[in-house]
Structure 1
Amino acid sequence: MNWVRTILFRTIFYLLSVPIVLTTPIAVLFGQRVLIAHADRWSRLHRILMRLILGITPRVEGAVPPGQFLFVAKHEAMYETLELQLLLGSPAMVLKRELMRIPLWGWAAVKYGALVVDREASSKALRTMMREGAAVRATGRSVIVYAEGTRVPHGEHPPLRSGFAGLYKALDLPVVPIALDSGRLLPKRGAKRPGVVTIRIGTPIPPGLPRREVETRVHAAINELNTPAG
């Protein structure tokens, strides 16, 4: 039955996503605010189908603090990349440069407000990040990054990517760590299972801390719920 639900969800979600993606250029013409609202419709579609077809719902522990922050979240499934956009008020996303090569999607992501990071963390990349980070901060919009760089199986604790420290310095914003356990129900391979995804919003960490300290604190906080399943 879980496989039936999984196939049904994928079929319906991606079919309904096509018109949303294809009408994105029209939304871009009306400015970023309209584009963000357009993207939020996609996230709401995802949330509704998750609940109705897969039987997956979120449980939020803690509250989203008011103000501008750098949100740093655990990454175990595609689920959080859409759910957190709704929960956190549509923050600007930090994306790998490789994703910008996806036709139409990469272009739309930049218009949405994506902050592109380079995994090489060279001096040139760092200068670019500092400049783009300052521009994003000036808009008053929060930023979200999945600092492990890619989704990882539930129970694994990879180190934060080196680019996180540069982003933290460039934005000079308090960090809100977010722990979650979506990988228990939504493994990268295999059938999805019904249940509750716990999203835990941590206590803000101030800007300006030494690199090792902020990385240690963030890494521990986003892994609070990340114990092996079973």
Structure 2
Amino acid sequence: MIAVRNWLFLLVFYGGSVPIVLTSPISALFGWRAMVVHTHFWTRFHGWATRTILGIHQNIEGARFGDTTGPGHIGGVPVLYAAKHQAMYETLELGRMLRNPAIVMKQELTDIPVWGWAARRYGVIVVDREASAGALRRMLREARAALAEHRSILIFPEGTRVAPGEQPPLRAGFAGLYQMLKIPVVPVAINSGLVWPKHGAKVPGVVTFRFGDPIPPGLPRAEIERRVHAAINALDTPQT
């Protein structure tokens, strides 16, 4: 049954995603808000497919984001969300959950034809893994532009998708954004790898999103990295 669920998901979600992605340039002609509506349609489709076909559901714990101003902000102020990354699942779900954050994304993804162009139109922040001075300046410039539009920023500070139990150190780009933007950080622990493994079949279950308390700006690099690393791995068990 699990194999059947996985094949059906591949057929339905990826088959449906092709026309959604290919028609994104049409929405882009009508501006950023039209792109947001288009993107939300895709992420809602993803959520429906994962629940209905794969039997994967969500559980949200911890400090609720948004209070009176809607998800994606704390007390009306954009923040830097730092999240664990174990599966494609949270990339799409957090985009909708946090109300259109500017997502820090590796350059290779934005080079994908059509999809990469649409991602740039949506307003992602491109990060170059080589971390040259010019690339870091561009990332900071794009992050400040997002804040000027009152958008929060979402980064996966470990830099890549990892399997449960893997806890690599944070990449330098996170500390750079934290120090330069001077906005609160909200860590997000996620255990999606338990049901959506990096390799192998997806299985029914619950993905927990645990939002930590906001961490204020201005902390030394070693302290902010230690606190964020611990918080985003709160649902994880290190390998032995």
TM-score class normalised by the smaller sequence = over 0.9
With 127-136 and 9-18 compared, the bigger mean Cα shift is at: 127-136
Alignment of 1:163-178 (within 5 A): 163-178=173-188
SS in 2 for 1:209: coil
Conserved 8 A contact 2:78-2:152: yes
Q: Which residue of 2 aligns with 1:146?
A: 156
Q: Which residue of 2 aligns with 1:198?
A: 208
Residue 133 of structure 1 deviates from its aligned partner by 2.0
Deviation digits for residues 182-205 of structure 1, max 9, x if unmatched?
A: 000110111111111111011111
- Residue 234 of structure 2 is aligned to residue 224 of structure 1: yes
C-alpha separation in 1, matches of 2:143 and 2:88: 24
Conserved 8 A contact 1:118-1:163: no
Residue 165 of structure 1 deviates from its aligned partner by 1.1
Alignment of 1:40-55 (within 5 A): 40-55=40-55
Deviation digits for residues 61-112 of structure 1, max 9, x if unmatched?
A: 0211333111110000000001111211121110111222111111111110
C-alpha separation in 2, matches of 1:50 and 1:121: 35
Residue 127 of structure 1 deviates from its aligned partner by 2.1
The normalised TM-score by structure 1 is 0.95
Residue 44 of structure 1 deviates from its aligned partner by 0.5
Conserved 8 A contact 1:134-1:170: no
Deviation digits for residues 197-222 of structure 1, max 9, x if unmatched?
A: 11101111111221111111100000
C-alpha separation in 1, matches of 2:140 and 2:23: 32
Conserved 8 A contact 1:186-1:192: yes
Conserved 8 A contact 1:76-1:154: yes
Q: Which residue of 2 aligns with 1:26?
A: 26
- Residue 165 of structure 2 is aligned to residue 155 of structure 1: yes
Percent of pairs identical after alignment?
58
SS in 2 for 1:188: coil
Q: How many residue pairs get matched?
A: 229
Q: Which residue of 2 aligns with 1:76?
A: 86
C-alpha distance 136-105 of structure 1, shift in aligned 2 (>3 A) = same
C-alpha separation in 2, matches of 1:92 and 1:208: 22
C-alpha separation in 2, matches of 1:213 and 1:128: 25
Structure 1 residue ranges without an equivalent (≥5): none
C-alpha separation in 1, matches of 2:140 and 2:193: 32
SS in 1 for 2:219: coil
SS in 2 for 1:149: coil
Counterpart residue type for residue 82 of structure 1: L
Deviation digits for residues 40-67 of structure 1, max 9, x if unmatched?
A: 1111011011111111100000211333
C-alpha separation in 1, matches of 2:116 and 2:204: 32
Structure 2 residue ranges without an equivalent (≥5): 67-73
RMSD: 1.4
SS in 1 for 2:78: coil
Alignment of 1:98-113 (within 5 A): 98-113=108-123
